[in-house]
Chains A and B, each alone.
Chain A
Amino acid sequence: MARVKMQILVCGGSGCYGNNSEALIDNLKLELEANALENDVHVIRSGCFGLCSLGPIVKIIPGDVIYTKVTPEDAKEIVTEQIMKNRKVERLLYKDPVTKKSVATETEMTLHKKQLRIVLRNCGIIDPENIEDAIAHDAYEALAKVLTEMKPLDVIKIIKDSGLRGRGGGGFPSGLKWEIAYKNKSEEKYVVCNADEGDPGAFMDRSVLEGDPHAVLEAMVICGYSIEAHKGLIYIRAEYPLAVARLKTAIGQAREYGLLGKNIMGSGFDFDIEIRYGAGAFVCGEETALIHSMEGLRGEPTVKPPFPAESGFRGKPTNVNNVETFACISPIILKGAEWFASIGSEKSKGTKVFALAGKINNVGLIEVPMGTTLREVIYEIGGGIMHGKKFKAAQTGGPSGGCLTEKHLDIPIDFDNLIAAGSMMGSGGLIIMDEDNCMVSVAKFFLEFTVEESCGKCSPCRIGNKRLYELLEHITKGKGTLADLDRLKNMSLVIKDTSLCGLGQSSPNPVLSTLDNFREEYVAHVTAKKCPAGKCKDLMEYFIISANCVGCTACARVCPVGAITGERKEPHLINPAICIKCGSCMGKCKFDAIIIQ
């Protein structure tokens, strides 16, 4: 079999597909055949390059030349110039957005890639069940440096200088948190890793624990050394069996290698880690509730202060950080605070992992420097909106966050900008919605979650959220009034203002933010009794266009409730009083005569 001489990779990702990459592939193949090159040069359909706004993308191997915005008409030039004469097609090369110079190869382009992996650095690279693979990828090197060269306050200073903020949702400066725990003197202190990832759709913590557990273990030891604690606890939900298994293996191996336990690496410092299981209550992500749960008590929050740094697990000073925060620690120690602080935006340093979900093509985990825009995330990394539909909103911060809309597409995403936009970072769930999503229903969906997950301790969260949900339901049933919209807002503000913990203080955010950004949609629900996105069943009406109806009776026969009447070969009618809006008739009609109004 003759060895292939060249390969042309054409992006077959959804974004490029939408930009006619299939026709490009066909044309390339035709051109190759026309030049009798089909055996020497192969055209390969690849996955997404993460440059969707520049698609379709073409890559030539060998040479790694990258072409952007390639149309089917460009196929001829690529084959005749690049393939046959080895001359680059200058006009199709990627242009550096700053210098405006052409960048030819993928290696050069690397610097322009939107994703930067710090937290996920080893995920998918190392064998998480093999500590030596981790060591080969720098694991425990930061710990060695800390134990030999640094004092607790030195470590805390580096973390403070790096500008690292808690990735669990609040964005509290991690170095400061460590410092407070350090300053509260006690014989007994604890380092807790919050792995109770509860935001629907977020799974970055799970991925880190499954892919690179040693990153977390190492950071916990470093944290223990800095705050003078000797015991670490990982609070993980029992619904993460694989992460639990890999953590257990990792802890076992780290003990075996003397990287956990007594006298770590001969430094005289002792630290060990235990796993505590959670039952998967969302509220247990709140640190006081988490601590109560670990103590065997009901997982519900208590008033802060006292903060865990003063009085946490068993009443002792406790530092709680989440998985993603811990995963940033070792690189900061090894590469320095300045390096970390050079990444990201002014007040939010480093990178953030997002879990892309919803109506986006490349569902999955991405990691980008803080300050990346939503547009870049959706269109350049996420592959754009599914089925080429129009972007409508993105929910950040899960059920505690709010939605960002088209006008927010170019805002750099960081802790403060998201809050200013009426949302929050949360743990990094990013749910993308398109024109088919009804925003009232979206708010209702998130409320339903918080109503379920409220611990029930304080009245505004326990009852208020239920009332909010009920009112939203009322509206989606077409029974709301304009006055209800004001009441929604007032209730939301009071619930935020009076709830005991972060859950209730943020649960009305989806309502407030959709109300702010999509008020016209709410108004349509209460005044015209219409759902513009056509999602609210109670507001839909199936209707037969008499002009299209041939009277085949297929719809009347499939209707389970006998709502459709009409003589054979005469236009039919749907009786809205009987119709249950199941949609069966619409599926049956071959003449597009049935529509939803």
Chain B
Amino acid sequence: MILYYHSLVNQVNMKIIKSPAELTRIKTDIIKKMSEKEKLRIRVHMGTSGLASGAKEIYEFMKVELEKRNIDAAIIRTGDMGYSFAEPTIEVKLPGEAPVVFGNVDKLKADEIIEKYIKNRELVDGVLPSNFRTI
């Protein structure tokens, strides 16, 4: 079964944040909830560059195929990372592993990622090493 990221966290808070303390509490709740349910997480980068290169297709493909292959995962739509030269890009985070970004993902590559990396933790060609620091 696929649990969408939205439904994963959206129910934490439905009321207006009335104080900074409440913001902190909600934040803690969200993070807690997210880490409790740590599982396979896939980010599909769907900004304009990504979408123009076919990210939506990959998003749909992942949704359908993971469900078909009985893999529990959270699939998240995000903006682009700036890797325009390698769009569409997706990031796969296996529980307990550092996230790995794959570039130039087409359906064939997506299939390979599921079969080799997601199922067997075996990397495939097209890994994009993280080339930045962040705050």
Query: Which residues of chain A have a CB within 8 Å of any CB of chain B?
Result: 1, 3-4, 7, 9, 11-12, 42, 44-51, 57, 59, 61, 106, 110-111, 113-118, 120-121, 123-130, 132-133, 135-136, 140-141, 144-145, 147-148, 203, 206-208, 210-212, 240, 242-243, 246, 256-259, 265-266, 331, 335, 361-367, 381, 383
Contact = CB atoms under 8 A, between A and B. Distances in A.
A167 B116 CA distance: 43
Contact of B47 (A7, A133, A242): A242
A242 B51 contact: yes
B40 interface: no
Contact of B82 (A46, A61, A116, A123): A123
A3 to B, nearest CB: 7
Interface in B13-61: 13, 16-20, 22-24, 26-27, 30-31, 34, 43, 45, 47-49, 51
B71 interface: no
A49 B129 CA distance: 5
A362 B129 CA distance: 13
A121 B135 contact: yes
Contacts of A140: 23
Contacts of A243: 48
B69 interface: no
Interface string B90-117: 0100000000010100000000000000
A276 B17 CA distance: 27
A145 B23 CA distance: 11
Secondary structure dominating the interface of B: mixed
Interface string B118-133: 0011111111110111
Given A136-B31, A207-B80, A211-B47, A259 B17 contact: yes
Nearest to A367: B132
A211 B80 contact: yes
Instruction: For the complex of A and B, list the 10 residue pairs with the smallest distance between their C-beta atoms, beginning with the closest.
Output: A211-B79, A50-B131, A365-B82, A124-B81, A115-B132, A258-B16, A144-B20, A364-B84, A47-B128, A46-B127
Given A265-B23, A361-B85, A44 B120 contact: no
Given A115-B131, A242-B51, A265-B20, A7 B123 contact: yes
Contact of B48 (A3, A206, A331): A206
A419 B83 CA distance: 29
A425 B101 CA distance: 31
B82 A44 contact: no
B27 A141 contact: yes
Contacts of B121: 3-4
Contact of B9 (A42, A130, A363, A365): A130
B105 to A, nearest CB: 11
Interface of B: 5-6, 9-10, 12-13, 16-20, 22-24, 26-27, 30-31, 34, 43, 45, 47-49, 51, 76-86, 89, 91, 101, 103, 120-129, 131-135
B133 A113 contact: yes
B131 A331 contact: no
A210 B125 CA distance: 28
B20 A364 contact: no
B30 A123 contact: no
B131 A132 contact: no
A302 to B, nearest CB: 33
Contacts of A208: 79
6 contacts: A4-B122, A47-B101, A49-B131, A124-B89, A206-B47, A265-B23
B70 to A, nearest CB: 18
A144 B133 CA distance: 26
Nearest to A49: B129
Contacts of A361: 85
Contacts of B9: 130, 132-133, 136
Contact of B20 (A50, A113, A147, A381): A147
A126 B77 CA distance: 8
A292 to B, nearest CB: 28
A3 B135 contact: no
B120 A4 contact: yes
Contacts of B103: 47
A365 B26 CA distance: 32
Secondary structure dominating the interface of A: mixed
B132 A44 contact: no
A44 B133 contact: no
Nearest to A46: B127
A59 B131 CA distance: 13
A210 B132 CA distance: 20
A227 B12 CA distance: 34
A381 B82 CA distance: 12
Contacts of A148: 20
Contacts of B125: 12, 44-46
Contacts of B31: 136
A47 B86 contact: yes
B117 to A, nearest CB: 10
B78 A135 contact: no
A48 B128 CA distance: 6
Contacts of A114: 131
B69 to A, nearest CB: 15
Given A50-B131, A265-B20, A265-B22, A207 B82 contact: yes
A124 B79 contact: yes
Point out which of B9, B20, B48 has the most chain A C-beta atoms below 10 A from its C-beta. B20
Nearest to A254: B17
A117 B134 contact: yes
A9 B123 contact: yes
Contact of B128 (A46, A120, A211): A46
Given A42-B122, A121-B135, A362-B85, A212 B127 contact: no
B131 A127 contact: no
Contacts of B82: 120, 123-124, 207, 364-367
Given A7-B122, A110-B133, A135-B23, A364 B83 contact: yes
Nearest to A204: B82
B129 A363 contact: no
Contacts of B81: 120, 123-124, 365
A205 to B, nearest CB: 12
Contact of A117 (B5, B24, B26, B133): B133
A338 B44 CA distance: 35
B102 to A, nearest CB: 8
Contact of B134 (A111, A121, A141, A257): A121
Contact of B34 (A47, A48, A115, A136): A136
Nearest to A3: B120
B52 to A, nearest CB: 10
Contacts of B129: 9, 11, 46-50, 57, 59, 106
